[in-house]
Amino acid sequence: VSVWAIVVAAGSGSRFGGPKQYEALGTHRVLDYALADARAHADGLVLVVAPERAADAEPAADAVVAGGATRSASVRAGLAAVPADAEVVLVHDAARPLAGAELFGVVLAAVREGADAAVPVVPVTDTIRTRPGGGDPGRTLDRATLVAVQTPQGFRAEVLRAVHAGDPEGTDDASLVDDAGGRVVLVDGHAANRKITEALDLEIAAALLVAHGDPR
């Protein structure tokens, strides 16, 4: 089975105040951790970057392509560079440096066992409310029914290509498979696999690297 990975790193990091995936973490850039983890289980690797970085050398990737205005558009740009004979595609956020190679293996195994999509999730520990607005006061959701979704997410390649036809928008790719009626399998994610969104997240990731040892 030919497995390709797409690492999306084309976000502008508006909440961070810059592209967080290029910040230093330990001895590497944030995105280098994502690339190394993805490489462990992929035959090929596509890195999706902001257009102004598309000419930069990234030796860890087999292809570097320019992303789009949204995460979904960036995934599609990456998918266009995945060879047609790839059977499984793993999609990962460059902003998640602490996923670990093992989680890629778990996601890949679930796809090999028949899932259209495999998604790591973790329990939600905060109580979550909907935002008030438009006369709606908002309400509290039942936390027991909620999970938080991470990457890497794994897909049968033909399913990922099919659900991206028509340029849909989603905050992840598994939600597009849900919308298309595909079979999404949940696997256990890791609490340490946080997305670097704010400056605090980078400080936490740095502390975790020190506490647990830099795997690279």
**Of the candidates 57, 69, 165, 211, which one interacts with ligand C5P according to CB under 6 A?**
69
Of the residues 3, 9, 64, 205, which one makes contact with ligand C5P according to CB under 6 A: 9
Residue 114: CB minimum distance to ligand C5P, A: 27
**In sequence order, what are the residues at sequence separation of 6 or more whose Cβ sits closer than 8 angstroms to the Cβ of residue 107?**
90, 118, 119, 120, 152, 153, 154, 187
67 binds ligand C5P (CB under 6 A): yes
Q: Which is nearer to ligand C5P, 15 or 183 (CB)?
A: 15
**Distance, CA of 92 to CA of 201 (rounded, Å):** 17
Minimum distance from CB of 183 to ligand C5P (Å)? 24
The least CB distance from residue 47 to ligand C5P, in Å, is 10
Q: Which of 47, 91, 95, 209 binds ligand C5P (CB under 6 A)?
A: 95
| Segment near ligand C5P (CB under 6 A); pick from 64-72, 100-108, 142-150, 186-194 | 64-72
Chain contacts with ligand C5P (rule: CB under 6 A): 8-11, 21, 48, 67-71, 74, 93-95, 195
